[in-house]
Amino acid sequence: MASKPDPVLRETPVDELKPAAARSELKSLAAEILEHDRRYYSEDAPDVTDAQYDVLRRRNAQIEARFPQLKRKDSPSDRIGAPPLAAFATVRHAVPMLSLGNVFTDDDVEAFCDRIRRFLGLEADEELAIAVEPKIDGLSATLRYEDGIFTLGATRGDGAQGENITQNLKTIKTIPQHVEAEDFPPVFEVRGEVFMSHDDFKALNQAQATNGKPEFANPRNAAAGSLRQLDASITASRPLGFFAYAWGETASLPVGNQNEMIAAFKRWGFPVNPLFKVCTRVADMLAVYSEIEARRASLGYDIDGVVYKVDRLDWQNRLGFRSRQPRWAVAHKFPAEQATTVLEDIEIQVGRTGALTPVARLKPVTVGGVVVSNASLHNEDYIKGIGGDGLPLREGRDIRKGDWVIVQRAGDVIPQIVDVVIGKRPGHAKPFSFPTKCPECGSQAVRELDEKSGKTDAVRRCTGGLFCPAQAVERLKHFVGRNTFDIEGLGTKQVEAFFAEGLVRTPADIFTLEARNASFDPPIASHEGWGATSEAKLFAAIRTRRHIGLDRFINALGIRHVGEGTARLLARTYGDIDSFYQAGRALGVGDEAARAEMEAIDGIGPAVVEALGDFFGEAHNAQILAALLEQIEVAPVEAAATTTPVSGKTVVFTGTLEKMSRAEAKARAEALGAKVSGSVSVKTDIVIAGPGAGSKRAKAEELGVEVLNEDDWLALIGQN
C-alpha cells in the first residue's frame, strides 16, 4: 500500500474531529484511495472490497464537508479512476467522466434532496423529480458516435483521459455499431457500464480452471480484465453486457429530462436497466432503494447501490459540479457486513501530527470476502466505552485485550469494532491503560482543551513536536509527497533511511544533500539498494523541484489545519511567496489587522488563522522556512487562462438574492475567476447587494467600493 492508515483519526466521528486530525486523516485517505484506484482501475486487482472502498471515500467526503478549508489538492473528490495504461492509446474526454458522491443512510438521502432545493431556491411545495436506477458494479465506458457510426470507445481512466478500447467494445453484441434514428444527434457520446453476469462469470472461471489459468476474483474484475485485452479476439470470447445511463459530448439533446433520455437510449437500440424509475418524494426514493436491495441477489449481475439523479436536465446544468462530482447526482450504497473474532492486542501508533492512535490486532477473520486482521479503536474514550455520538460501539462496552469483538466492514481499510461480546470475556482481561507518554520519544502526550467548546480533544497528542522521530519523519514524507514537492526517488523508505542515518532531518537538508554527499561515508551510491545511476537520478529529481508552485509549497509546510484545498485558497489569495510570508509573519506577532484580513477570506476559518499564526510565531519554524527558501524558488500563482469581467476581483454578496441561492451565486462567481469574501474591505472590488443589505453595503459606499444589485451583477457576468 502507498501508506499506512491512521486508524484513530480514521474512526473518530467526523463531528468530533479537530481540524488538525482532519488534515492528517485527509492526507492518509488521499494516499490510500489513490493506491486502491490504481489497483482497481489500472490493474483490475483490488485488495479491498467495494464496501470498504466506498466508505473510505465517504469518510473523506464527510471530513471535507465539515472542513472545506482543509480539502487537499489531491483530494479523492477531485480525482476519478486512475491514469490510462501505457499499453493503450490515450483518449482525452471532450467532457470529463465524473464520479459520484456516496450516501449511506435515509437521512443522507433526505439531506441530498434538501441541498438541491436550497441550491435551486425551490419552494417547499415545488416538485423535485429524482431518477432512480441500480448502480452497476462494472467498468465505465464511453462510446462516441459520429453521424450514427460508432467511431471511438474508451475507459473512464482518470476522468480526464482514458484508454482507447474501441475494438474491444465493438465485440460486445448489445452495443450498436450504427444508429439510424432520425433524432440521434450527429455527434453523441453514450456512457454506461460494461459488466458480466453471474452465470457467465461462473462459466468463465470454470474454463479458466480447466485451462490451468488463474480464476477471477469477482464479475467486475472479470469484466474489466476482459475489456482491457490487447487482443480483441479474447474480449470477443468473453460474455460482456452493457447498460447505458449517461452521455458526454453531444451536438444536441432531443429531450429535457433524464427519464426521456433513458427512453431515447432504449429507442436508439442501447440496453438500459429495466429497474429505472422516477420519484417525486424521498419516501418513494427509499422504497425503490429497498426494493432493489431486496432483489439484489436475484438480478443476475452485481450492483452495489442505487443512483439518484435530478430528472430535469436544466436543473442539472444549474446545479453543476462540486470539484469533480455532480451536485445533481449521488450513489446510495448498500450497508456493511459483520463478523466476530478475538482482539489479540492493542497497539499505539504515532502519526505525523503527534496523534496517538490505538489499533486493534485481531485474530484474522473473513468479513464479506475480505480477511480482516486490524481494526480501528478510534481513541481512548472509545476503548473505555465512552463512544460518543456517531461511534458504532455500544455505549458502556469497554474494549480489552482478549475480548471477543464484532467487526463491521464499513468500507474502511481499517474496519470498525462495533460491539464486545461481554459473555465471552476472559476472566483475566483487564481494562486497557492508554499511555500518557509518547511511545516514540517519551514526551508527554496530552489531550488539548478546545477553548471555544470547552470540550477535551478526543485525540491524545505527543508534545515532542519536531523532536519526536515519528512526527519528524512523517512531516518529511508529507513534504516530498505526490501533491507537495513530489520528489521522484525519495519515497517513504528513502526518507526513513536518510532520517535514521542523519542525512536528512529538515526540508532544507533535502536540497543540500547533493552538495554534502561527498562528505558522507559511504556516499549515497554505496548504500544498500543504491548505485551511481539511482543516486544521479535522485539528485536530478531534487534539482527539478527547486522550483515549485505557491500552493504546493504552502501545503508542503505541514501546517496544522492547512491541507491542499486551504493551501490552494491561500495561494490564490496572496499570489506570491512574499505576500503570503508577510501575512504569516504579521499573524505570528499578533497583528489583528492581518488576522481580520485573513479571516475575511471565504473558506478560511479561525482555526486556520490560529494555526498559521502559531506556525509563523515559532522561532524554529521561521528558521526552517528561511533555510528552505535559500534553496528553492517559489513560483507565483499564474493568472487564469480565461479572462472574464470578474477575473481576479474580490466580490462580496450581501442581502437577499432573489434569482438564485447564495450557494449558486458563489459557485458562479468562483467559476468565473472571482474571489468571494465574507466581509468588505479596501481590497473588495464589487459588492452585490440584494434587499435587506445593511452594514456591508454601508461600508462599501463609505470605502467607494462599486455596489451592484443582482440584475446588474448578472448582466456583468453575462448571465441575465
**Residues contacting residue 636 through CB under 8 Å, at least 6 positions apart:** 550, 575, 576, 577
Q: Where would I find the H helices in 170-312?
A: 198-210, 219-227, 232-236, 258-268, 282-294
Residue-wise burial string across 13-23, b where 16 or more C-beta atoms lie within 10 A, e elsewhere: bbebbbbbbbb
Question: Is residue 345 helix, strand or coil?
Answer: strand
| 673 vs 193: CA distance, rounded Å | 35
Q: How many helices (H) and strands (E) does the chain have?
A: 26, 26
Contact (Cβ atoms closer than 8 angstroms) between residue 572 and residue 561: no
Question: Is residue 657 helix, strand or coil?
Answer: coil
| 554 vs 577: CA distance, rounded Å | 9
What the block records as the C-alpha cell of 261 is 433520455
What the block records as the C-alpha cell of 664 is 449558486
What are the φ/ψ torsions at residue 479 (nearest 5 degrees)? -60, -40
Kind and range of the H or E element at 101? strand 101-103
What DSSP line would sit under 457-499, residue for residue? EEEEEES-GGGSHHHHHHHHHHHTSTTTT--TT--HHHHHHHH
What are the φ/ψ torsions at residue 643 (nearest 5 degrees)? -100, 135
Number of CB atoms found within 10 A of residue 370's CB:
17
| 107 vs 63: CA distance, rounded Å | 17
Q: Of the listed 135, 309, 333, 696, which one is catalytic?
A: 135
| 229 vs 232: CA distance, rounded Å | 6
| 603 vs 408: CA distance, rounded Å | 35
Partner residues linked to 405 by β-bridges:
341, 420
| 235 vs 540: CA distance, rounded Å | 43
Longest dimension (CA), the chain: 83
| 371 vs 418: CA distance, rounded Å | 17
Residue 468 carries which DSSP code? S
Does 277 qualify as catalytic in the annotation?
A: no
Residue 635 carries which DSSP code? E
What DSSP line would sit under 551-568, residue for residue? HHHHHHTT-TT--HHHHH
Contact (Cβ atoms closer than 8 angstroms) between residue 708 and residue 682: no
Give helix 577-588 / helix 564-574 axis angle, nearest 10°: 110
| 696 vs 686: CA distance, rounded Å | 11
What are the φ/ψ torsions at residue 239 (nearest 5 degrees)? -80, 100
Contact (Cβ atoms closer than 8 angstroms) between residue 305 and residue 55: no
Question: Is residue 706 helix, strand or coil?
Answer: strand
User: Which are the catalytic amino acids?
Assistant: 135
